[in-house]
Structure 1
Amino acid sequence: MLAAAAPAAARPAADDATKTVSYRGHTFTVPAGWPVVDLDQEPTACVRFDRHAVYLGTPGEHQDCPARAVGRTEVLWVQPAVAAKASVTEDRTSRVYRATATNEGISITAPYGEDRAEIQRVLRSAGLPVATARAAGPARAPAAGAVPADATAYQGRGFDTCTAPSRTAMNAWRTGSPYRAVGVYIGGVNRACAQARLTAEWVRTQYANGWRFFPLYVGPQPSSGAGSCQNSCASITDPVPQGKEAAEDAAAQAVALGFAKGAVLYNDLEQYATGGTLTKRVLGYLEAWTERLHELGYRSGAYGSVSSLVADLVGNAGKVTLPDVIHFAHWNDENTTLHTAIPADLWAGHQRIHQYAGNRTETYGAVTINIDRDQLDVGTGD
């Protein structure tokens, strides 16, 4: 059963318009403007955390998600679940509440952006004791063990997409597509798509089937409006502590998914205007990320545009600790890891990925996925 909650704080008059949403015997009060998506009725709907919504149920086999989405706001996602006990936890790094209730079992995922109080009001309306929410516990390694570190090494074509595809989709694409590596979003405060399929078992299965990976982490961004953020991204304000915290969280997510030490973890930094404060923030953040990942036994990767992140890293080579692998974006439709913006002596030892096309819709084996295309040349780091 859900525990009784303390009365919610008074809401500002402008926020008074609300509606109630019920699911499996539980009722939530949410802002009137939030759309309600019944995933039983709309199984292909993409569960996204970058726009207000209420999602009810479990996503279908094939979600119609964009190739990429970045940002975070207040969202409520309620699914059926078998829960041994009621609980509420909060992950402040990723800005998300998770809860379970035993009466007509449900699990709740409630991410938030800048308005933590809003999502707290929504949860309290259903009797969830958010005031006594426990901090999310440390990630645990999968019982079956980790996949080898070469899981993030590959030379050839790959793709990335906002949410990890289903096993059926991966099997169809393994047979029919030219791709053999997949970019998966493992965490971060600005990861916008839910990851209903991404588990340690999924990683093990896809590795055994011949797939390799480039794990992406969407932490704080250069600014709230960087790249695809549309002013919805948590941003870098204190570079060194945030870089270390992001590295620790990314490593924890990697452990939980079964990526062994030695794997490359990529920090996704959207396009920004170089120079001045933003450049200083990005370089400090990314250097702290890289150095902390090394301490934790992982290799550092970074994703960004050739006109922003790559330009700043190249311009400051020798002054800062560079990531071990660069994942550079330039949509020129050239599937090569050579680029005039990157000197031949930087990231020269199988240390590059080129995202050479974006927002493409492709179909193999009757399964359609929206993707970005990538060319990989990534070794094991030996």
Structure 2
Amino acid sequence: MDRRRKIIGYLVALLAALAQLPAAYTPATAAAPKPRAVRATVFKGRGFDTCEAPPLTTLRAWGTSQYRAVGVYFAGRARACPRQRYLSYDWLTGARDLGWKVLPLFVGSQSPCVKASNKRGFTIGSFPEDQGEDEGDEAVRKASALGIAQGSALYLDMEAYDIKDENCAGTTLAFVQSWTDTVYRRGYVPGFYSSAESGVRHMELARRAGADSLPEIMWFARWKVTPSTDKERSLSAGAWQPHRRIHQYAGDVSETHGGRKLTIDRNLIDAPVAVIE
């Protein structure tokens, strides 16, 4: 445990230094993280995510919509909708057979300085590397049990947090890195969802500082702007490119297609999705 505490101390110091850098600063040696050697299926187009996976009859009705991908909250102790009545192997194969791509979201432990009050009972503890490894294992185990195969993207959902809190930011980064490494070692593609101005900006700052073990895909939430996977101002132009970005550009909106109504978040996708076998 002493080694882990030293690592956390280093990360805290690193984030403290980063806080002093101007927003446009990029070290000359910084480079976009390169995809690691795992197979992945990339989808480009529109998608939505919703708290509870809808029944297949709704997905069939929504075949008339612009969307062809659906985000599902398949596991994690901090899910807003832990009871997923329809989500199963049969649901996933049914969605696949209807022509839908799937974005699996894992809502595990949250940053100690998470902003949402309903997530504060699920924060990262004193040993973030151990916790990140345990929850990475959980994500892979539960994904596999549903028929989500190796080579699939799994997205860690980290709700908005205060990246200026140095101790908190260091703890959060250590957890994310450990989760990312664990998911990758098990043959999956580790992605990351967060607010563009908090978690995603934090990952970009860590990248600029030369940090390793960062997620392979950035899913950034920035609402009320023109949808674009290429023009996010929190990310350098060449970072997490090509085919490794998702823009959540609207949230908590209601749509009806084929007579079926859902409340959804809207996404523009150019990134890996699940492999359903």
Residue of structure 1 equivalent to 2:150: 261
Counterpart of 1:296 (choices 152, 164, 186) is 186
Alpha-carbon deviations, 1:311-370, whole Å to 9, x = none? 111111122321011111111242211212111121112000110001101111111000
Which of 218, 226, 233 matches 2:114?
226
Contact 1:153 1:212 in 2 (8 A): no
Equivalent-residue separation in structure 1 for 2:119 and 2:178 (angstroms): 25
Q: Which residue number corresponds to residue 186 of structure 1?
A: 74
Aligned to 1:155: 44
Q: Note closer, same or farther for the CA distance 1:308–1:259 as it changes in structure 2 (3 Å cut).
A: same
SS across alignment from 2:235: coil
RCO comparison, higher one (Cα < 8 Å, 6+): 2
8 Å contact kept, 2:153–2:272? no
**Is 1:286 paired with 2:179?**
no
8 Å contact from structure 1 (residues 156, 376) kept in 2: yes
Residues in 1 aligned to 2:202 and 2:87: alpha-carbon distance in whole angstroms: 33
TM-score, normalising length from structure 2?
A: 0.79
Q: Is the 8 A contact 1:220 1:233 kept in 2?
A: no
What secondary structure is seen at the aligned counterpart in 2 of 1:180? strand
Which protein has the bigger helix share? Answer: 2
Which one of the candidate residues 62, 65, 90 is aligned to 1:201?
Answer: 90
- CA distance in 2 between partners of 1:156 and 1:357 (Å): 15
Gapped regions of structure 2 (runs ≥ 5): 1-38
Aligned to 2:238: 345
Cα deviation for residue 379 of structure 1 reads 4.2
Looking at structure 1, the residues matched to 206 and 214 of structure 2 have their Cα atoms a distance apart, in angstroms, of 9
Q: How many corresponding residue pairs? A: 230
> Aligned ranges for residues 40-79 of structure 1 at < 5 Å?
none
- In structure 1, list runs of 5 or more residues that go unmatched: 1-148
What's the offset of the Cα at 1:233? 3.1
Q: Once the 2 structures are TM-superposed, how far is the Cα of residue 230 of structure 1 from its aligned partner?
A: 2.7
Deviation at 1:231, TM superposition (A): 5.3
Contact 2:115 2:162 in 1 (8 A): no
C-alpha RMSD of the superposition: 1.7
1:313 is matched with 203
State the secondary structure of the residue aligned to 2:150: coil
Q: 5 Å matches for 1:212-251?
A: 212-223=101-112, 226-230=114-118, 232-237=120-125, 238-251=127-140
Correspondence 1:326-365 to 2 at 5 A: 326-338=218-230, 339-365=232-258
Provide the C-alpha distance between the structure 1 equivalents of 2:80 and 2:223, rounded to a whole number of angstroms.
22
Paired position in structure 2 for 1:323: 215
In the TM superposition, what is the alpha-carbon distance from 1:228 to its structure 2 partner?
A: 3.5
How big is each residue's C-alpha offset from its partner over 1:263-306, in whole Å with a ceiling of 9 and x where there is no partner?
01000000011131111011100100111111111110000011
- Do the aligned residues in 1 keep the contact of 2:152 with 2:272 (CA within 8 Å)? no
Matched, 1:373 2:261: no
For residues 97 and 119 of structure 2, what CA distance do their matches in structure 1 show?
Answer: 40
What TM-score results when the alignment is normalised by the length of structure 1?
0.58
1:34-73 Cα shifts (integer Å, max 9, x gaps): xxxxxxxxxxxxxxxxxxxxxxxxxxxxxxxxxxxxxxxx
What CA distance in whole angstroms lies between the structure 2 residues aligned with 1:366 and 1:311? 39
